[in-house]
Amino acid sequence: MAENTPDRVDMEKIVSLCRRRGIIFPSSEIYGGLSSCWDYGPLGVEIKRNVKEAWWRAMVQERDDVIGVDASILMHPRVWEASGHLEGFSDPLVECKGCHQRWRSDELEGDRCPSCGGELTEPRQFNMMFKTFMGPVEDDASVVYLRPETAQGMFVNFENVLNTTRKRLPFGIAQIGKAFRNEITTGNFIFRSREFELMEMEYFVKPGTDEEWFEYWLEERQNWYINLGIKKEHLRLREHETEELSHYSRRTVDINYLYPMGWAELEGVANRGDFDLSQHASFSGKEISYFDEGTSEHIVPYVVEPAVGVDRIVLAFLCEAYDEEPDKDDIRVVLRFHPDLAPVKVAVLPLSRREPLVEMAKDIYAGLRKCWSVAYDDAQSVGRRYRRQDETGTPLCVTVDFQSLEDNQVTIRERDSMNQIRVPVSELQNTLAAKLAGEDLFVLPPGGQVWLEAEKG
C-alpha cells in the first residue's frame, strides 16, 4: 500500500481538521480512547448520513430492480458455519518473541518484527469474528457473533424477499449496517477499524450472465464516485489473484483510491457465484431457489456484490475535497465537497447582532431549515465566518446586511469561486435550490445582480 504520494493531502491535516471542527473524535476519548474505534461528531454524522443517502438513492431509490432490507446484527450461529466465516474468515497472525506485538504476516515486508526487529513466531490463522453470548448463560450453546459482513442478512432473506416482492431475475437486495472485525492491525484513521459501517448490494442473476453484470456494476460504482467529485485519476482497479480470493469468490476486483498513504481498497466488487445460497440451502435444509418461467426450471442464482465501507468513503471524500489556497498572508482551507455531501448546505450570516437585522436573519434561517441542514453564525467578522464555513465545506452563505432591511435583498456567496450575487428574499430559496442542484449561480432570479470577488477589491 505504501507509495510516495506527493500531491496528496497529509493524513495529519485531515485528522486535525476532523478533530478541530467536530467531524470525527477518538472513541471514549476521556478514557484515553479505544484503539481503532471512532465517534462521528455533529458535522461528521451529517457527512456520513449524506454518503449513505447518496448510495441508497443510486442503488435502491432510483432503480426498479433493487430493494432494501435491514437485518439484525446478531444472527443464528449456523449462518457463519454455512457462510464459511467460522472456518475461513481469518488472517495469518505472527507474534514477536521479543516485544509480543502481533502482526498480519501477509502485510509484513521482512521476516522480523517491524517494531523492535525481534524474531517472529510461525503464522497461525486468527479468526476475525467478535464472539459474544446470547442470554444469561455463557456456554458454548449460547455463542453468537457480531456480523463481519451484512451480506448474509440478504442471503438468508432471499426467499422472504422473493416471495413478498415477486421480483424477477436479475434483481438486487441492498443493506446498510454495522459490521465488526477483530482486525489484527488497524490504522490510517478511519480506514481500517474494528467497528465500521458497510453498504452492500447482492445482485442475483441467471448463471451465465454473471460476468456481464460484474462489468456493469464495476462501471456503475466507479461512475458513482466520479459523479460525486472523485477525480478519475484517483481511482484504479485491482484484480485479485486466484490465491487471494475470499473463500466465497470466483472473481473480485477492488476499486482502489489514492489515499494519503497510497493506493488502497475503497470498494470491492465480487462474483460470489451460487456459493452462499447453496450453502444456506444445505445447512438449513430449506430449498432456496428461483423458478425460471422461461425454462420451467428451478435455478440457484449467481450473485454479483458491490461492497463498501461507509467510513472508507467518508475518508476518500474528505481527502478529495481538502484544498488549501493562498489568502492574503494566510491560507484558506476549503473542503470542496459536492453539495450532496456537504454537512451544512447553507449558512446564514447577519452582518451585525443588532435588531432588526437579527430578526430578519433568523426568519430567513427558520425558513431555510425546513429544506436543508442550515447553520446560523453571528460570531466575529463576516470574513472569518466565511472561512469557517469554507473549512467544513458549506457550499453557500447568505449574508443579511443593513441594505437588506431596505431592499429586502440578501447576498449569496459561493464557496468555491467566492463570487457573490444579490437576490430578493422572495427568490432566495429557489436560487439556493438551483445552485445546490448544480445550476450556474449566475442564472439570476428576477431582480438579482452579480458581484464578482475581484470587483469588490
> Which SS3 state, helix, strand or coil, does residue 196 take?
strand
- Contacting ligand GAP (CB under 6 A), which of 274, 276, 311, 320? 311
The one-letter code for the residue type at 345 is K
- Contacting ligand GAP (CB under 6 A), which of 21, 312, 385, 388? 312
Question: Closer to ligand GAP at the Cβ: 149 or 390?
Answer: 149
CB of 141 to ligand GAP, least distance (A): 28
User: How far apart, in whole angstroms, are the C-alpha atoms of residue 15 and residue 357?
Assistant: 37
- Write down how long the chain is: 457
Residue nearest to ligand GAP (CB): 309
- Contacting ligand GAP (CB under 6 A), which of 177, 260, 309, 448? 309
- Contacting ligand GAP (CB under 6 A), which of 183, 220, 414, 427? 183
Contact residues for 163 (Cβ-Cβ < 8 A; gap 6+): none
For residue 124, CA distances in Å to 32, 90, 316 come to: 31, 9, 33
CB of 313 to ligand GAP, least distance (A): 8
- Contacting ligand GAP (CB under 6 A), which of 307, 315, 344, 410? 307
CB 184 within 8 Å of CB 93: yes
Question: Closer to ligand GAP at the Cβ: 311 or 401?
Answer: 311
User: How far apart, in whole angstroms, are the C-alpha atoms of residue 139 and residue 133?
Assistant: 8
Residues between 117 and 176 with contacts to ligand GAP, criterion CB under 6 A: 149, 151
For residue 130, CA distances in Å to 74, 95, 175, 191, 332 come to: 11, 20, 21, 19, 44
CB 126 within 8 Å of CB 92: yes
Count residues near ligand GAP (CB under 6 A).
Answer: 19
Question: Closer to ligand GAP at the Cβ: 181 or 435?
Answer: 181
- Give the other-Cβ count within 10 Å of 343's Cβ: 24
244-249 long-range Cβ contacts below 8 angstroms, 24+ apart: 246/88, 246/270, 247/84, 247/87, 247/88, 247/89, 248/83, 248/84, 248/272, 248/273, 248/275, 248/276, 249/275
Q: Is 300 in the site for ligand GAP (CB under 6 A)?
A: no
Question: Closer to ligand GAP at the Cβ: 25 or 376?
Answer: 25
The contact mask relative to ligand GAP for 239-278 (x = CB under 6 A, - = no) is --------------------------xxxx----------
CB of 153 to ligand GAP, least distance (A): 11
User: How far apart, in whole angstroms, are the C-alpha atoms of residue 100 and residue 97?
Assistant: 6
- Using CB under 6 A, which of the segments 168-176, 283-291, 301-309, 341-349 binds ligand GAP? 301-309
Question: Closer to ligand GAP at the Cβ: 192 or 415?
Answer: 192
Composition of the chain by helix, strand, coil, percent to 5? 35, 30, 35
Residues between 193 and 212 with contacts to ligand GAP, criterion CB under 6 A: 193, 196, 198, 200
> What does the binding site for ligand GAP look like in residue numbers (CB under 6 A)?
149, 151, 181, 183, 192-193, 196, 198, 200, 265-268, 305, 307-309, 311-312
